[in-house]
């Protein structure tokens, strides 16, 4: 008897038709439960908004692209010819392959495209044909947007983004009948994978209370304060905006200047304290820094009117007062991460205006202060979209955390959405336990006033870089910030692109050390030296174009953390006796990581 390699389609035959029929019935039953879990909260009025506004925006944007090509018969014919030319090439190459003749694929599969890694995407002619048909069509759609004339930059950006999302969604890798791996698994298991997948879908819809909250990891394997965020420390202060954590020293001597870390409130601070091996906070403590971290509140309607000004005053400025009480030191080194860095930059400009010199050095992790090249998140920012968002936030007083989480996931939808749809709902598998993805799914809400100010003043009008932003009645000028700055960007960042961070370096009035790290927005920052992963680049003053800076930059292997520590010490290496939380009559409220970070959305 011939082996399966001579009869490749034998892999796609049902092993047990009776068991398959039973599992198919179970799958349909579970699908009904999933539909009920989706519909019920909408019928009860618990979910008041659907995706109509977003869908209308997508249609309007893509209609402008279609209008360009349809408005001229010659252009319309040209567009059709492009597509049919690709199809004809595919048909001809497929016929040659079918007849046993040498043939070249009509389109090459991108080398880094993980969706088509299974050998049958190439070895099996049916799946190879489906794959190439998809690649030709999606590339044609992208070209239609790119080549459309008369579109303003923002409309073109939105159209490119929407086409990419649609193309990613309709990929043949996302469907059982057109994905060889899924089809084999379904036949081999007699459809048990689909039954489990539908059960996962029901669970995720119930967890999301009618919204699909895709599991990216196994949440049962992690507990904050036990195997995440467990660097020893104490909460020594709190208000309506944040808690302040002071970490316990591990060295007899410490740097005289304490270290204040301002994390983003869009996510939770323990990204910098995932576990002892990855924790930047623990590493900094072990190097002799007295570390203080702001843990932002997970807001509800009570924080609706908390603005950027409140986060600046009740967050950073009050924490500086607390640090002075706890350490008897007024001079501080400060770090800001992502939007926490933007807030820190705003605070520095305000302090410069007020003559407040307590922060002596500032470090920015993947932070934007000039939003000219702010990347794909700008797709979600224009007057129409912000006004609609503000209207929604008025009703609750905040933006639900799932909305921001979805926006971030869409920036890398193949990796952060569709791969999990396939794994969880079509393969029926449990996601792998991964601390970073647990943190990623632990989303936070956005206070209405704060978020509106941020979107309008930064993304929409770019006022901070122009010297037009006003806080507490003061117009801010970043050029008045003359303290030394360490400005870290990451090479593959989709949220704060390195070009954007580089451009922002020129807004400050003092010396700026621009450093480019390998990897992306998270892994490029959370890169402990012991792992010896990635690399970083240092170079001359960040002026002119990033491309020119890179030509003169020097590449270094491994983590940038020790380089940053040397930079801190080069500005002031004075030492002091280690300070424990609770010293100087500071009241200890609770153990780190505190209660604010525990609040779920």
Out of 242, 338, 458, 507, pick the active-site residue.
338
How many other C-beta atoms lie within 10 A of the C-beta of residue 132?
A: 23
Closest alpha carbon to 184 in 370, 5, 12, 46? 12
Q: Which long-range contacts (CB under 8 A, 24 or more apart) does 217-222 make?
A: 217/431, 217/432, 217/433, 217/434, 217/435, 217/437, 217/438, 217/441, 218/430, 218/431, 218/432, 218/433, 219/438, 219/441, 221/433, 221/438, 222/433, 222/435, 222/438
Cα–chain-centroid distance for residue 300?
22
Q: Which residues pair with 432 in a beta bridge?
A: none
- Residues 399, 404, 410, 415, Cα dihedral to 10°: -140
- Whether 507 sits among the annotated catalytic residues: the reply is no
Phi, psi of 245 (to 5 degrees): -105, 130
Q: Which long-range contacts (CB under 8 A, 24 or more apart) does 582-585 make?
A: 582/234, 582/236, 583/326, 583/327, 584/325, 584/326, 584/327, 584/328
Contact between 248 and 448 under an 8 Å Cβ cutoff? The reply is no
Query: Encoding tokens for residue 599?
Result: 């609040």
Closest alpha carbon to 182 in 449, 426, 413, 19? 426
In the chain, what is the straight-line distance between the N-terminal and C-terminal CA atoms, in Å? 59
- With 0-12 CB in 10 A as exposed, 13-18 as middle and 19+ as buried, what is 87? middle
Which residues contact residue 429 at a Cβ distance below 8 angstroms, ignoring those fewer than 6 apart? 193, 196, 423
Looking at the annotation, which residues are catalytic? 338
């Amino acid at each position: 008897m011939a082996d399966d390699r001579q009869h490749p389609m034998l892999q796609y035959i049902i092993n047990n038709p009776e068991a398959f029929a039973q599992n198919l019935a179970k799958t349909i039953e579970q699908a009904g439960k999933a539909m009920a879990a989706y519909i019920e909260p909408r019928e009860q009025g618990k979910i008041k908004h659907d995706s109509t506004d977003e869908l209308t925006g997508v249609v309007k944007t893509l209609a402008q692209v279609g209008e360009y090509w349809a408005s001229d018969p010659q252009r319309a014919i040209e567009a059709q010819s492009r597509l049919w030319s690709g199809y004809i090439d595919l048909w001809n190459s497929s016929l040659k392959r079918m007849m046993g003749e040498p043939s070249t694929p009509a389109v090459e599969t991108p080398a880094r495209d993980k969706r088509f890694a299974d050998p049958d995407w190439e070895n099996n002619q049916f799946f190879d044909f489906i794959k190439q048909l998809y690649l030709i069509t999606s590339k044609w759609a992208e070209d239609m947007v790119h080549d459309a004339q008369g579109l303003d930059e923002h409309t073109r950006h939105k159209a490119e983004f929407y086409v990419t999302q649609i193309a990613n969604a309709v990929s043949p890798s996302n469907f059982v009948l057109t994905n060889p791996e899924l089809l084999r698994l379904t036949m081999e298991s007699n459809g048990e994978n689909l039954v489990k997948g539908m059960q996962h879908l029901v669970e995720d819809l119930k967890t999301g209370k009618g919204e699909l909250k895709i599991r990216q990891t196994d949440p049962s394997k992690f507990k904050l304060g036990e195997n995440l965020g467990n660097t020893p420390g104490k909460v020594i202060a709190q208000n309506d905006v944040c808690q302040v954590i002071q970490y316990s020293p591990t060295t007899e001597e410490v740097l005289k200047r304490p270290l204040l870390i301002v994390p983003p409130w869009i996510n939770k601070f323990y990204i910098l304290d995932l576990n002892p091996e990855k924790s930047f906070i623990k590493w900094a403590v072990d190097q002799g820094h007295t570390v203080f971290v702001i843990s932002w509140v997970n807001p509800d309607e009570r924080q609706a009117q908390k603005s950027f000004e409140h986060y600046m005053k009740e967050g950073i400025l009050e924490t500086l007062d607390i640090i002075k009480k706890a350490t008897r030191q007024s001079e501080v080194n400060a770090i800001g991460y992502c939007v926490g860095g933007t807030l820190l930059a705003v605070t520095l400009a305000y302090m410069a205006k007020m003559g407040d010199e307590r922060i002596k050095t500032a470090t920015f992790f993947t932070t934007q202060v000039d939003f000219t090249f702010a990347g794909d998140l700008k797709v979600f920012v224009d007057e129409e979209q912000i006004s609609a968002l503000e209207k929604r936030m008025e009703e609750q007083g905040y933006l639900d955390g799932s909305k921001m989480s979805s926006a971030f996931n869409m920036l890398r939808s193949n990796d952060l959405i569709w791969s999990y749809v396939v794994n969880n709902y079509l393969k029926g598998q449990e996601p792998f336990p991964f601390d970073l993805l647990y943190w990623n799914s632990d989303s936070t809400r956005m206070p209405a006033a704060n978020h509106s100010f941020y979107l309008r003043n930064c993304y929409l009008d770019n006022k901070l870089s122009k010297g037009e932003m006003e806080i507490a009645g003061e117009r801010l000028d970043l050029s008045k910030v003359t303290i030394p700055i360490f400005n870290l960007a990451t090479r593959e960042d989709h949220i704060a692109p390195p070009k954007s961070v580089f451009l922002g370096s020129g807004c400050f009035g003092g010396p700026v050390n621009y450093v480019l790290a390998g990897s992306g927005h998270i892994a490029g920052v959370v890169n402990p030296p012991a792992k010896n992963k990635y690399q970083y680049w240092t170079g001359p003053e960040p002026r002119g174009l990033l491309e020119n800076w890179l030509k003169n930059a020097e590449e270094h292997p491994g983590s940038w953390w020790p380089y940053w520590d040397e930079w801190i010490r080069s500005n002031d290496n004075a030492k002091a006796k280690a300070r424990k939380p609770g010293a100087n009559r500071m009241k200890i409220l609770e153990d780190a990581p505190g209660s604010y970070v525990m609040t779920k959305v």
